[in-house]
Amino acid sequence: MPTPLHSEPEASASDAVTAPHPDPSGDRVPFFQKAAYGAGGITENLANALTQQMINPVFNIGLGISPTILGFVLMIYRCYDAFADPIIGNISDNTRTRWGRRRPFIVVGGILTGFAFPLIWQARPEWSHGFIIGYMIVMGLIFYTAFSTWAMPYYSLGMEMTPDYDERTRVVAYRAFFSGFVGLVSGWLMALISMPAFAGGVAGKPDLVIGMRHAGWIIGAIIIMVAILPGLFVRERYYEKEARNQAKIGLIHGFKETLRCRPFLLVIGIVVVQGLGYGIVGSLGLYLNIYYVFQGDVQSASIIEGIKSTACFLPGLLSVPFWTWASQRFGKNASLGATLVMGMVANASMFFCYTPAHPYLQILPSLLMSSFGYGIWMLAPSMQADIVDYDEYHTKERREGSFSAVFSWSLKFSGTLCAGLSGLIIVWSGFDVEKYGNHQPRGVMLTMLSWYSFVPLIFCAIALLLLKFYPLNRKRMHEIRTDLERIRGKV
């Protein structure tokens, strides 16, 4: 490994000082390209997040499959996805076409993802439980193959749109902005599919299976329309200057080099640890609303989920320019620390705000959680783009696909654990829809509420500790960029 030209200082208050860069005007990504890239991010929330969100309501509440079994099905999805991502990422890094490395995969993968998404939800209640589980597994593996084909090149493309420290955050801000609209829609999805006019059934007992079956086709069509936009309209900035003539990188070599990058491992640790805290108990929120706050009324619980998403929509969007400003003013490290503290405060307050006496009080912590989510998923990807430059400085290779794949692999490995534990934690709490129906014991609900409120708080505290050791601040990234441009020229 080449010897670095500078030592690696710890991040400090100097991160808030704006260092000049060589060509401010040339670093700016045109508005239309940022908008096309950001709109493509809708795909992730529609395809990936909605799949995880709706598995338990449709297959447990609607079809009667045990949450423990559903947890293991989600683990199968995650395990497969985690191994597919590095392969797709490496193929993308090594692809050379007249259209670039990423764009062909984004277009083809987006179309396939849109067609595969509705297939997951076509299970029928007259099928045996064994057949339903087998169908879920097969359709899920088809879907996640298509999604990986789109996702790895898409995330990689975001890392190579600009060499500027702050412009990278602005690029990710567009993705966060468009994703916010999906959050608004997804919050109302349960309410939509549980409406008798949409889902069939009778008032008070909607057919969630039919509702999601119909919604799946609409969502699939939207996925196709937005997923292909980055592939059609975004420029691959590093391709002509560096990647086209770069030697192809072996899968194992790329994987090993990526795992040797200390700043990258710290960012992975921060994101994965806080994600574990929320993922393990995330599914409890809907159960608390249905069986604790609303005493078994599915439609009322679904409506309040929609109201929360609506109430959080505007504050969430406003947090996009706020975190962009904070990153430019105080640096990414300090801003990420602030988001983690905000998440801890929001979670602690949930214990007091989920109550049958005042159902709408839960909107208050949701407002903070909305801003927390935007902050994490704006700052961490922006830091990841900085890390690719840091790695190029040390290895003389551009491996955005490898970094995207390992980052995704880590998230999905943690997601696998969460998927398995999320089903088990429902069972461990004492919840039993067959035994207790709509009137679960109060002790069970308080156990769920305690876990839902305080488990993420502990994990966020660990993530804060890891953040203290992250070394790449604005000053350090300016030094790295200056040396890279001196060695291989500007891009």
* Beta strands 201-202 and 205-206, pairing class: antiparallel
Q: What DSSP character marks residue 119?
A: G
Collapsing DSSP states into helix, strand and coil, what is residue 84? helix
Longest dimension (CA), the chain: 70
For the segment 202-229, the average pLDDT, to the nearest whole number, is: 83
What are 401-427's pLDDT values in tens digits?
889 888 888 887 787 777 667 777 887
| CATH number corresponding to 31-237+250-488 | 1.20.1250.20
pLDDT at residue 37, rounded to an integer? 95
- Cα 154 from Cα 230, distance rounded (Å): 8
The more confidently predicted of residues 61 and 123 is 123
DSSP structure string for 279-308: HHHTTHHHHHIIIIISTT-HHHHHHHHHHH
For the segment 81-88, the average pLDDT, to the nearest whole number, is: 84
Arithmetic mean of pLDDT over the chain:
84
Residue 134: Cβ within 10 Å count: 13
Which range (10-19, 48-57, 480-489) has the least confidence?
10-19
Instruction: Report residue 9's pLDDT band, with 50, 70 and 90 as the boundaries.
Output: very low
- Cα 17 from Cα 350, distance rounded (Å): 37
For CA atoms 474, 479, 480, 486, give the dihedral sign.
positive
Domain ranges of the chain: 31-237+250-488
- Cα 268 from Cα 463, distance rounded (Å): 10
What are 292-334's pLDDT values in tens digits?
888 878 778 878 877 887 888 888 888 999 999 999 999 999 9
Which range (64-68, 128-132, 251-255, 356-360) has the least confidence?
251-255
pLDDT at residue 243, rounded to an integer? 55
DSSP structure string for 33-54: HHHHHHHHTHHIIIIIIHHHHH
pLDDT at residue 198, rounded to an integer? 60
The more confidently predicted of residues 310 and 379 is 379
Classify residue 300 as exposed, middle or buried by CB count within 10 Å of its CB (0-12, 13-18, 19+). Answer: middle
Upper half-sphere CA count for residue 84 (Cβ side, 13 Å): 20
- Cα 287 from Cα 285, distance rounded (Å): 5
Alpha carbon 233 to chain centroid distance?
23
What are 418-465's pLDDT values in tens digits?
766 777 788 787 777 666 666 777 888 888 889 999 999 999 999 999
For the segment 329-341, the average pLDDT, to the nearest whole number, is: 95
The more confidently predicted of residues 12 and 96 is 96
- Cα 324 from Cα 415, distance rounded (Å): 28
Closest C-alpha to 82, from 388, 418, 351: 418
Query: Please, are residues 86 and 95 in contact by the beta-carbon 8 Å criterion?
Result: no
For the segment 70-75, the average pLDDT, to the nearest whole number, is: 84
- Cα 235 from Cα 246, distance rounded (Å): 18
For the segment 339-354, the average pLDDT, to the nearest whole number, is: 92
Residue type present at position 45: N
Closest C-alpha to 156, from 267, 234, 51: 234
What are 158-191's pLDDT values in tens digits?
988 888 999 999 999 999 888 878 777 776 777 7
The more confidently predicted of residues 291 and 127 is 127
pLDDT at residue 436, rounded to an integer? 62
Q: Tokens 């912590």, residue?
A: 365
